[in-house]
Amino acid sequence: MKWGMVIDLQKCTGCGECAAACKMENNVAIVEQKESEMGRTMLWMDMLTIYEGEYPRLRVRQIPRPCMHCDHPPCTKVCPVRATYINEEGIVAQIYPQCIGCRYCMAACPYTVKSFNWYKPEWPPGMARATNPDVSVRPVGVVEKCTFCVHRLQKAKEQAKFEARDLREGDFQPACADCCPTGAIVFGDLENRDHQVNHLAHSPRAEKLLEDLGTEPKVIYLKEVD
Amino acid sequence: MEHASARPHPDAALLNPIENPGRMYYYIVVGLLVIILYTGFVYIRQLWFGLGVTGMAQPVTWGFYIINFVFFIGISHAGTLISAILRLSKAEWRRPITRMAEVITAIVLAIGGLHPIIDLGRPDRISHLFFNGRLQSPLLWDVASITAYFTASTIYLYIPLIPDIAILRDRGVKPRWLYEFLSWGWQGTERQHKVLDRAMNILMVMVIPIAVSVHTIISYIFAMTVQPGWHSTIFGPYFVVGAIFSGIAAILVLMIVFRKVFHLEGYLKHIHFNYLSILLLIMSLIWFYFTFSEYLTGYYGHEPNEMRVFWYKFSGDFAPYFWAMIICNFALPVAILCNRKTRTIPGILIASLSVVVGMWMERLIIVVPSLANPRLPYPTGIYIPSHTEWMLFIGGISVFILGYMIFARFFPVISIWEIEEGRHESAKIVTERIASYMPDPEPSTAGE
């Protein structure tokens, strides 16, 4: 089993719904504007602004960027305390109580996907009560990033076990895939031939970010063809 | 022995700072303590609020703390490594220099070694490194090599200090219990000298590979990632060269300061400065050679991400620092030290200070630009260190000065017994050694 994600850029409108859903789902802290301007915005799912071509044929677009969940993650190699590691289902996971906050993984990640809790995470009044009880709130001084909503996987597994059946394709979907209004984000098991991602990953349009680094990302983009 | 200190000692100038420290000493100590206390307060504030009080953000997640870590550990190569090399190569002019160099190492290593802990988001979890550490992470190699280096270099400082402590003990210098305890019953017997020599020989051979490994491994922290500007095979030796370079500059600065303050003109002669500054000149050229190969290969490879970092340094936001580094580390010291007329003590002081500053900038230029230019198109701001980071830098330097002052208050900064040994024995030993270099008289001509 190898969880992976396909993002169809033909369908993606760049609305940012995935980024918002992710932020709410995973209790990602909302930093003050001053902090945000310093570059301390915390987004597990970020929107990358890509400029293509030059004026007057310039094209600007926004593409979603979760953690790539590499098969050869540069971040787990350098972690001195196993606070980040790749599990047997291919998810590059974070163990917050283990992290010493050295930020080596952030420096080593070629996709720059990790966020750091520079201060104790805080929410505006009222929003604190809206946090998701399934996801731990991180303490100050640790690194965090997209986990492919691993808490949802745990829930789905429990449910499947309770119903004495195997995990079905739609059982486990991360928040971003769930919320995408155009269905551009497809999630599933890359090794399972019955799953949609398996087909899409072999599409001629499929490409990976910074593929030449040999990190083997499990987030696959389907490029636009006009 | 009560009145022994009244008797003039041949090396009275070396004992004077210990026996009569003077009032100025205490003023400076108080001044430094004020700075250090304030730094402590600033650090506690960082512990309380988190690393948010620094200027670091995404993507520049490493800043002053890591820069200063690399810088201080680099300076530490002054000591043990250089003193070991000079001792091992039997350079007779080493005698008044080795001790000073070793003290730099011990103090700076303690300060530098703390920097990664200051940089941690969760210093309270430092024990995870020992209980859950993973050997595949270069950070853990660092923990191992710095601990080894610190242990070896403090022992290497202490062992040759024992006969000097015994001199102070015999002169009845206070606090007596301290010298009594630390001198370990040294009587200067032949057997004791033999053991001491043996211990020093073992240590100086051991310390050289450890010292080389320390800065190689620090470079590995960067080189083991795939980031542009860091992922380079040359980094290990490049860092070691830079470390020795900055170390020699630091020794020269300290030698000039001590010569002035303690009136050691009789011990630290122009010849010592001349030899060491020529070493500094050579290191400057080697440093430039490494820098040149590093950037030229990067430029010719023309890999787009590599080039972004390259231009960021050469003509972008970091150009002022980059070109200042080239001037401080290469142009200025080479210009001063090449010419015998400018290779005077003030000239050497300027060159050494410029190298210390330049090497700090080199660390800055290695750490920040690679982080500031991520591969994917993120908005990137500029890294501006906060008041906290500046204070911890100034505090670190203050701890170094205070540490050195405390050492100089209790122990001689120039090895008295080694000077004495030099006076009595080395002329004979050197003559014999030189005779052994010369071709033996040919047996046939001798026979005729």
> At residue B417, what are phi and psi to the nearest 5 degrees?
-70, -30
Across the interface, of A102, A116, A213, the residue whose CB is closest to B139 is A102
- ∠ CA B373-B374-B380, nearest 5°, is 65
Cβ separation of B221 and A104 shorter than 8 Å?
A: yes
Average pLDDT of A14-24?
A: 93
* pLDDT band, residue B149 (cuts 50/70/90): very high
The answer to whether B114 faces chain A, any CB pair under 8 Å, is no
Sorted by sequence, the CB contacts under 8 Å of residue B171 that are 6+ apart come out as B1, B4, B5, B9, B15, B19
Q: pLDDT tens across A129-184, in order?
A: 888 999 999 999 999 999 999 999 999 999 999 999 988 888 899 999 999 999 99
* Interchain pair B224, A39: CB under 8 A: no
Residue of A nearest to B384 (CA): A38
A116–B58: do the CB atoms touch at under 8 Å? yes
Average of per-residue pLDDT across A62-71: 94
Residues of chain A found within 8 Å of residue B376, distances taken between Cβ atoms: 48, 65, 111-112, 209-210
Q: Are A80 and B129 in contact (CB < 8 Å)?
A: yes
Q: What is the pLDDT of residue B8?
A: 64
A100 interaction partners in chain B (CB closer than 8 Å)? 120-123, 125-126, 128-129
Closest chain B residue to the Cα of A98, Cα to Cα: B128
The residues pairing with A93 across neighbouring beta strands, listed in sequence order, are A85
Name, in order, each residue with C-beta under 8 angstroms of B132's C-beta and a sequence gap of 6 or more: A81, A82, A98
The answer to whether the CB of B32 falls within 8 A of the CB of B398 is yes
Q: For chain A, give percent helix, strand, coil, nearest 5.
A: 30, 20, 55
From the CA of B59, how many Å to the nearest CA of chain A?
7
Name the residue in chain B with its Cα closest to that of A74: B225
* pLDDT band per the 50, 70, 90 thresholds, residue B444: low
**Chain A closest-CA separation from residue B357 CA (Å):** 25
B326, B277 contact by CB (below 8 A): no
Name, in order, each residue with C-beta under 8 angstroms of B53's C-beta and a sequence gap of 6 or more: B45, B46, B386, B388
pLDDT tens for B341-385 read: 888 889 999 999 999 999 999 999 999 999 999 998 888 778 899
For residues B245 and B356, give the distance between their C-alpha atoms in angstroms, rounded to a whole number.
9
Cα separation, B38 vs B394, in Å, equals 10
Residue labelled with tokens 């860092």: B239
Beta bridge partners of A6: A186, A220
What pLDDT score was predicted for residue B7? Answer: 57
Decide which of A77 and A126 is more confident. A77
Cβ–Cβ contact B129 with A under 8 A = yes
Among the partner-chain residues A39, A74, A118, the one whose CB lies closest to the CB of B50 is: A118
User: Which residues on B lie below 8 Å from A72 (Cβ)?
Assistant: none
B185-218 pLDDT tens trace: 888 788 888 998 899 889 888 888 999 999 999 9
Question: In this structure, are residues B94 and B248 in contact, taking their beta carbons and an 8 Å threshold?
Answer: no
CB B347 within 8 A of CB B336: yes
Reported as a pLDDT band with limits 50, 70 and 90, residue A7 is very high
Q: Are B253 and B353 in contact (CB under 8 A)?
A: yes
Contacts with B146 (C-beta within 8 Å, 6 or more apart), sequence order = B73, B109, B112, B113, B214
Whether a cis peptide bond, with omega within 30° of 0, leads into B175 is yes
Mutant choice from B376, B378, B384 vs A, greatest count of A C-beta within 10 A:
B376
Does residue B171 carry a pLDDT above 90?
Answer: no
Contact A116, A16 (CB under 8 A): no
Nearest CA distance, A185 vs chain B (angstrom): 20
Residue type, position B213, single letter: S
d(CA B353, CA B355): 5
Interface contact A40-B57, CB threshold 8 A: yes
User: Parallel, antiparallel, or unpaired: how do β-strands A59-65 and A219-222 relate?
Assistant: unpaired
pLDDT of residue B445 exceeding 60? no
Two tokens, residue A191? 């090794």
Cross-chain CB nearest to A112 (options B119, B137, B376)? B376
Percent with pLDDT over 70 in chain B: 97
Angle at B368 between CA B289 and CA B365, to 5 degrees: 25
Are the CB atoms for A17 and A181 separated by under 8 Å? yes
> Exposed, middle or buried by CB within 10 Å (0-12, 13-18, 19+), for A185?
buried
Mean model confidence pLDDT for chain B: 88
d(CA B31, CA B380): 40
What are the pLDDT digits (tens) for B213-270?
A: 999 999 999 999 999 999 989 999 999 999 999 999 999 999 999 888 888 888 888 8
Residue A73's contacts (CB-CB under 8 Å, 6 or more residues apart) are A84, A86, A92, A215
Burial of B79 (0-12, 13-18, 19+ CB in 10 A): buried
Q: Which residues contact B150 (CB under 8 A, 6 or more apart)?
A: B106, B109, B110, B113
**Whether residue B4 has pLDDT greater than 50:** no
Chain A residues close to B377, C-beta within 8 Å: 48-51
Are residues B338 and B45 in contact, defined by beta-carbon separation less than 8 angstroms? no
Which of A100, A105, A111, A216 is most worth mutating to test chain B (most B CB atoms within 10 A of its CB)?
A: A100
* Residues B299-304, mean pLDDT to the nearest whole number: 90
Inter-residue contact B61 to B371 (CB < 8 Å): yes
For B55, nearest residue in chain A (alpha carbons): A38
Are B52 and A110 within 8 A, CB to CB? no
Label residue A136 left, alpha or beta by phi (over 0 means left) and psi (-120 to 50 means alpha). beta
A-B interface: how many C-beta pairs under 8 angstroms? 138
| Predicted local distance difference test score (pLDDT) of residue B1 | 40
**Per-window interface: A 78-97 vs B, CB < 8 A:** 78-82
Shortest distance, CA B218 to any CA of chain A (angstroms) = 13
pLDDT tens column, B395-437: 999 999 999 888 988 888 888 888 888 888 877 888 888 888 8
